[in-house]
Amino acid sequence: MAFLELQELSKSFGRTRAVERLSLEVEQGEFLTLLGPSGCGKTTILRLVAGFEQADAGRILLDGEEITTRPANRRPMGMVFQSYALFPHMTAEQNVAFGLRLRRLSPTLIHRRCEELLALVGLADRAHNYPHQLSGGQQQRVALARALAVEPKVLLLDEPLSALDAAVRVTLREEIRRIQQQLGMTVIYVTHDQEEALAISDRIAVMARGRLEQLGAPEEIYRRPRTVFVAGFVGASTRLPARLERAADGHCRLGEILLRVPPQPELSDGAAVLLVVRPELVTLQQLEEADGVAVDRSQSQEQENLLTGIVELRTFLGAVTRFRVRADGGQLFTVDLPGLQARTLVPGQRVLLAFPPEACLVLPYGESEAEAAAGRSGRAAVVGQVSPEREPQPEHA
Amino acid sequence: MRSLFRPRHRKPGQDVGQPSQHLANEGGLLPARLALALALLYLLIPLAATLVFGLSGSHGWGDLSSLGAVFGDPDFWQTLLTSLGLAAGTTVLVILLLTPTVYQVHLRLPQVQPLLEALALLPFAVPPIVLGTGLLQEYNGAATNSPLVDLLSLGLVPLLSNVFPLLDLPLLLICAYVIVALPFAYRAIDNSLRAVDVRVLTEAAASLGAGWWRTLLLVILPNIWPGILTAALLTFSTVMGELTLASLFNTYTFPIYLNMTGQNDPHRAALLAVLSFLLTLLCVLGMVPATRPRTGGGRAALPGQIEGAGPR
């Protein structure tokens, strides 16, 4: 039996279904992240677990005990809010001590515990500062110490880093992970930032429209997305609608081109699929004008998929440079190249695109999914992607 | 040629690039001071004139016999104590009734806020004489046969007026004062609650184990304290100066004493008016230190206002 179980949870606000029959299990000491776009229901789940909202249906079990209807102040949960929610009239130490005072611990014990916790979050010298005298990052550290003070069985973090600047966000998320591992704390973390989710989680639950799309380890979510939504939401990718010609052999038709993909024995010939290719798995090679038609496909096609195209956009992202390349067949590809390789490529240049069959993730792609993907990807925040690439790619095929 | 705008006494390293501050120091402050002086004169001249008139008895300026007569009058002390008691009772009742109610509305029933605002403004539309007459009619037993009153008050009015002699108790007058003071007190408390994130603070307190009352007492009240004190002060001064309801309820209060004295001895009435003003002023000054936020004197940083320093 899992430490925290959510069984068939449903919650509506008026006519809006925020969470729909969601089941989820969290193990003790696990760091689980609820990831999804705004309005997908991830914060509602956290609030249901915290007891700030009551579920319309379903059950919540903690350590085998049902807590579905238990008031928030009687649940062994700690909560860290996006807006810090520190009590403005109390110092950092008094904020941390608040929960301990309610438990009527001795003043000596409270003082010692506050000192330990403020030291844990690196704010031992700020104990007597009021919230307004602290920076955003420091306030959130105090909020974390305050939540940890009451030794909750589950720590809930609701987009705790959203209000902080980029540098503080990275530092603090590493701190949160360090503290979680140091204390062996069970954590549910809500974010819409996929990079944050991939960086600190043991498992990620990707959500859309109040439902669980996929649950798995960060690498699994990134490398093997199971749905079109997850493929589009987590990480940058090129998404190409295609049709399987010989599913068992992994032959796939993309317009006029025949691509090699991993064999798909479970799919039938002629099935509509979506090919998902991560940008770092595609390579680019500069072509001279005359070479454009002289690519000897017969030799290399067995190993790699080769296409020719023109660089449309070049975006420098620091460690990598991102290219938008329009293939001769009209498809748009997103390609990430390390700095050195990217140096010579500029917009307008003809290039050879190459990617191995294993780089192609094949997802069944019906009409409804196509519509859903088109609808979702407009809202989905994809870190690192330049805005033109956020538009759904399949329309160009 | 020497520039006219050259600073004559510049110290080494002194910053001269702040023209707006310079203006504020030299040119901007004088009109402000002048305006303040005029406002003070406007307020103080009538008060001083009243005081001078009060102290100008039959023996000329500086006649303290009126003052002695005021303090020697047992009615003065009796009415003052009655009014202070009524004001204190009303203030306590207003704060006890309104604070949890408005907090609960902010927290759980935000959709009811417009209704509450309309109700809070209603006493402005109903003159005290109408309110007083209505209350007296309802509670003297004459109207308790009305099924409408019975229904609207959920049976409370006939019960109270039949079982308890409410008309003889100051409680009914205090209740009437609560209604009169409602618009001022509600606005002060409501504004304070709007200034803090009630929901998030309540949820944070709940996640640490605090129930509703503890959250209200330990988290919400300290953050809306200035609003509570403003509400208390406004209620207190409203009751201290209220005449119509007290007359209708046949209660001998300080404003009635002031009114009656004014008809017989205008010098004493003038002194009483000054004393009344000083009493209110003392109340205000007494509350000022308590209205200062206990957060180190600054304003809390809002989420999203990120200082460049980051975590240290």
Q: Where are the domains of chain A?
A: 4-223, 236-288+303-374
From start to end of chain A, where are the E strands? 4-13, 16-26, 31-35, 57-62, 65-66, 77-80, 154-158, 186-191, 203-208, 211-216, 238-246, 251-254, 257-260, 272-277, 283-286, 305-316, 320-327, 332-338, 350-355, 360-364
Q: Are A50 and A73 in contact (CB under 8 A)?
A: no
**Residue A74 or A299, more confident:** A74
CA distance A308 to chain B (A): 46
Burial letters B258-297, b for 16+ CB under 10 A, else e = beebeeebebbbbbbbbbbeebeeeeeeeeeeeeebebee
**For residue A139, what is the nearest residue in chain B, using CA coordinates?**
B311
Check if A44 contacts B (Cβ < 8 Å).
Answer: no
* Cβ–Cβ gap A132/B299 under 8 Å: yes
* Cβ–Cβ gap A72/B206 under 8 Å: yes
Q: Calculate mean pLDDT across residues A296-309.
A: 67
Percentage with pLDDT > 90 across chain B: 30
Q: Are A352 and A330 in contact (CB under 8 A)?
A: no
Position A247 confidence tier, pLDDT thresholds 50, 70, 90: confident
Q: Calculate mean pLDDT across residues B158-171.
A: 68
Residues 200-259 on B with a CB inside 8 Å of A are 200-201, 203-211, 214, 218-219, 222-223
Check if B67 contacts A (Cβ < 8 Å).
Answer: no
- pLDDT, position A97: 96
Give the tens place of pLDDT for each residue, A349-373: 999 999 999 999 999 887 545 544 4
**Residue B302 or A172, more confident:** A172
Nearest to B210 among A73, A149, A167 (CB): A73
Specify burial of residue B191 (Cβ count, 10 A radius: 0-12, 13-18, 19+): middle
* Cβ–Cβ gap A165/B209 under 8 Å: no
Position B298 confidence tier, pLDDT thresholds 50, 70, 90: very low
**Which amino acid, one-letter code, is at A2?**
A
Kindly state the DSSP code that residue B10 receives in the 8-state scheme.
P
For residue A54, pLDDT beyond 90: yes
**Residue A108 or A256, more confident:** A108
- pLDDT, position B166: 60
Specify burial of residue A7 (Cβ count, 10 A radius: 0-12, 13-18, 19+): middle
Q: Calculate mean pLDDT across residues A66-95.
A: 94
CA distance A93 to chain B (A): 13
The two tokens of residue B252 are: 């001998």
Percentage with pLDDT > 70 across chain B: 76
Q: How many helices (H) and strands (E) does chain B have?
A: 15, 2
Question: Does domain A236-288+303-374 match CATH 3.40.640.10?
Answer: no
- Which residues of A are less than 8 Å from B294 in CB distance? 89
Nearest to A172 among B293, B300, B311 (CB): B311
Nearest to A137 among B197, B200, B311 (CB): B311
- pLDDT, position A397: 26
- pLDDT, position A389: 34
Q: Where are the domains of chain B?
A: 79-286
Check if B294 contacts A (Cβ < 8 Å).
Answer: yes
CA distance A104 to chain B (A): 11
Check if B305 contacts A (Cβ < 8 Å).
Answer: yes
Kindly state the DSSP code that residue B11 receives in the 8-state scheme.
P
- pLDDT, position A48: 96
Residues 63-82 on A with a CB inside 8 Å of B are 71-74, 77-79, 81-82
Question: Residue A278: which of A334, A321, A340 has the closest Cα?
Answer: A334
Position B11 confidence tier, pLDDT thresholds 50, 70, 90: very low
- pLDDT, position A37: 92
ipTM for the assembly:
0.81
Q: Work out the number of other CB atoms within 10 angstroms of the CB of residue B64.
A: 11
C-alpha to C-alpha distance for A286 and B116, rounded to whole angstroms: 71
Alpha-carbon distances, residue A264 vs A110, A267, A281 (angstroms):
61, 6, 20
Fold topology of A4-223 = Rossmann fold (3.40.50)
A158, β-bridge pairs: A190
Question: Residue A382: which of A367, A371, A392 has the closest Cα?
Answer: A392
CA distance B123 to chain A (A): 34
Q: Calculate mean pLDDT across residues A335-348.
A: 88
Kindly state the DSSP code that residue B111 receives in the 8-state scheme.
G
* Cβ–Cβ gap B223/A87 under 8 Å: yes
Ranges A128-142, B182-196, B199-213, B248-262: which has the least confidence: B248-262
* Cβ–Cβ gap B301/A131 under 8 Å: yes
For residue A137, pLDDT beyond 50: yes
Helix (H) or strand (E) holding B232: helix B221-240
- pLDDT, position B300: 40
- pLDDT, position B127: 81
Q: Calculate mean pLDDT across residues A114-138.
A: 93
**Interacting residues of A5 by C-beta distance below 8 A, sequence separation 6+:** A23, A24, A25, A26, A59, A60, A61, A62
pTM of the model: 0.78
What three-state secondary structure class fits A147?
Answer: helix
For residue B167, pLDDT beyond 90: no
C-alpha to C-alpha distance for B96 and A104, rounded to whole angstroms: 27
* Cβ–Cβ gap A81/B200 under 8 Å: yes
Question: Residue A230: which of A274, A272, A170 has the closest Cα?
Answer: A274
- pLDDT, position B237: 87
**For residue A124, what is the nearest residue in chain B, using CA coordinates?**
B312
**Residue A283 or B167, more confident:** A283
C-alpha to C-alpha distance for A354 and A300, rounded to whole angstroms: 10
For residue A106, pLDDT beyond 90: yes
**What's the per-residue H, E or C state across A326-339?**
EECCCCEEEEEEEH
**For residue B197, what is the nearest residue in chain A, using CA coordinates?**
A85
**For residue A97, what is the nearest residue in chain B, using CA coordinates?**
B208
Q: Which CATH class is domain B79-286?
A: mainly alpha
Check if B110 contacts A (Cβ < 8 Å).
Answer: no
Q: Are A47 and A188 in contact (CB under 8 A)?
A: no
The two tokens of residue A298 are: 């017969």
- Which residues of A are less than 8 Å from B309 in CB distance? 135
Position A376 confidence tier, pLDDT thresholds 50, 70, 90: very low
C-alpha to C-alpha distance for A59 and A7, rounded to whole angstroms: 5
Give the tens place of pLDDT for each residue, B88-99: 999 999 999 999
**Residue B281 or A78, more confident:** A78
**Residue B124 or A40, more confident:** A40
* Cβ–Cβ gap B311/A135 under 8 Å: yes
C-alpha to C-alpha distance for A293 and A307, rounded to whole angstroms: 11
* Cβ–Cβ gap A136/B299 under 8 Å: no
Q: Are B298 and A130 in contact (CB under 8 A)?
A: yes
Degrees, nearest 5: CA angle B64-B70-B76: 165
Residues 331-390 on A with a CB inside 8 Å of B are none
C-alpha to C-alpha distance for B146 and B247, rounded to whole angstroms: 26
Check if A88 contacts B (Cβ < 8 Å).
Answer: yes
